Amino acid sequence: MVVGGTSGLGLEVARLLAAEHRVVVLGDVEREVAAASDYLACDGIVCDVSDYDDVRQAMREVATRHGGIDGLAHCAAMWAGGALDELTPARLRRVVEVNVLGTAYVMREALTWMKAASRGNIVYVGAMAVDVPRPGIPVYRATKSFGKSLVESLAQAMGTDGIKVMQIHPGPMPTRLQERAGAHFLDQVYAQPAQVAREVVRLLSLGPEDLYVSDQKVLRADGRW
């Protein structure tokens, strides 16, 4: 499953996986889900991650149709740029619903199915900004920090290499989220979505016997984002 698989990094992850795996893309806009599903020749489900019932139903549908959930890439996120006092209460609530509650809902339901099967890999796409503060994104950074903390705790709690809960932290990439962030947040040196997607797919492909990987930062060869 690729949550947020209709554009940017999520679409690249789904595209790489679709060649050899059964893939399901999740997104919250029906026409975008349909377009990605047609493009990749895979299943697509409309799902608002901030709605727990939506997430639970989507996971159940996928697990029932395909006999379980072997891997999940959580690429969905909502941008929130600007100083805290520049964001409306409605905007603050929505960002928390998507980036915090949505992440918790997705992890909860995916792990329920993976625990039942004693197998599965999860890769949460965080953000380099969690570890490297940047001005103008306090709320975005805070909500992505929740995901980082949650994954770290879940990874420790699994107690088995059969279920891996991992995360990577890319820097700015030329994606739709980056367009909303603005060009001033895009560094001169950056990774392309296709490059980061290959690393997400590699982590999703790790087997029970492979070393456990988590909290990985995605860097270019010169050490910058």
* pTM to 2 decimal places: 0.89
Q: 35-87 pLDDT, tens per residue? A: 999 999 999 999 999 999 999 999 999 999 999 999 999 999 998 888 899 99
C-alpha distances in angstroms, 157 versus 17, 152, 206, 216? 28, 9, 19, 18
- Predicted confidence at residue 81, as pLDDT, reads 84
> Which CATH number does 2-218 carry?
3.40.50.720
Buried b / exposed e over 200-218, threshold 16 CB at 10 Å, is bbebbebeeeeeebbbbeb
pLDDT at 218 over 90: no
Q: 115-133 pLDDT, tens per residue? A: 999 999 999 999 888 887 7
